[in-house]
Structures are given as C-alpha cells and as structure tokens.
Amino acid sequence: MNVVSVAGGVAFAPSGPYSASKHAQLAFSRAVAAELGPRGIRVHTVNPGFVETEGFPQRKGLSSPLFRRVVIEPEDVARHVVRSLERGPSETYVPAWFRVFPVVQALAPGLVRRLAPKSAYRKRPESH
C-alpha cells in the first residue's frame, strides 16, 4: 500500500518539489504494480486530496473557500485505505472525484495552467 497524493498527478505553484516527489512515488507504485502483478501481488495506491494534519494545516493555508470545504481528515484516508485493501482496486482517489484533476491536467495542461490560480495557498509573509 502506497499513500501518495493527488499532487502526484497535478502540479500547481508553489508545490513543485512536493508534486515532483509525489509523481515519482506514483510512478514507482505503477511500475511495481506492473512488475509484481503477474506474480499475483497487488500494489494499492491511494491518492488523497487535501488532508488536515498537524504538519500541513490545510484549512488555514488554502486561499480558496472551495478547496477549504473539501479538506478531509486523516481518519477519512485511513477508512479509505482499509476499504481499498478489502475491495481490491489498485489505484484510488479520496475523495473519488479528485481523480478529475490529474485527468484534466494530462489532457489539457495549458488550460489548467491558465485557469488555475497562481497559488491555491495563501502567501506566507517574507522573513528577513
């Protein structure tokens, strides 16, 4: 089981390094799934959206009211992981409708770049 992130398939400023690391983790999960599948070994990948955690307090950092409303709790991700392991889907998103973001960016990266805000996150004050 790999818990990756929707950010593995979607890149928005200022999360370039985070998205890159999650994309690498997603690619690794897919490659291992392809390699081990013929041996009967399943690799599950869960891609959560915005999750409220101590290290990443999403509701305070997100500038978009829409994005703040879709922030989920770590317990939501944990329940989804258990359901994924029980039911067997190999790659899932939580919430499920977040799957649309990587699909749209893959099909129309220029459109996403133009429509997406420069940053979904509030700007942090500069420290001197």
Predicted pLDDT at 126:
54
pLDDT band (50, 70, 90) for residue 27: very high
Report pLDDT digits (tens) over 32-77. Answer: 999 999 999 999 999 999 899 888 778 777 777 777 888 989 999 9
Q: DSSP alpha helices (H): ranges in 62-125?
A: 65-69, 74-87, 100-107, 109-115
| Beta strands, E only, 1-128 | 2-3, 45-48, 91-94
Into how many domains does the chain fold?
1
Range of the domain at 22: 2-115
What values do phi and psi take at 61, rounded to 5?
Answer: -90, -25
Counting residues of the chain whose pLDDT is more than 90, the rounded percentage is: 46
Give the 3-state secondary structure of residue 112.
helix
Residue 117 has pLDDT above 70, yes or no: no
Query: Which residues touch 10 (CB under 8 Å, ≥6 apart)?
Result: 19, 101, 102, 105, 112
- Cα–Cα–Cα angle for 34, 19, 51, rounded to 5 degrees: 95
pLDDT band (50, 70, 90) for residue 120: low
Q: Does residue 125 fall inside a structural domain?
A: no
Q: Does residue 86 fall inside a structural domain?
A: yes
Question: In the chain, what's the furthest Cα-to-Cα distance?
Answer: 55
Report pLDDT digits (tens) over 72-83. Answer: 899 999 999 999
Q: Which of 115, 123, 112 minimizes the C-alpha distance to 9?
A: 112
Q: Does residue 128 fall inside a structural domain?
A: no
Give the 3-state secondary structure of residue 2.
strand
- Cα–Cα–Cα angle for 101, 46, 17, rounded to 5 degrees: 60
Is the pTM higher than 0.85? no
Q: Does residue 7 fall inside a structural domain?
A: yes
Q: Does residue 88 fall inside a structural domain?
A: yes
Predicted pLDDT at 110:
80
Q: Does residue 127 fall inside a structural domain?
A: no
Give the CATH number of the domain where residue 58 resides.
3.40.50.720
Report pLDDT digits (tens) over 1-12. Answer: 999 999 999 887
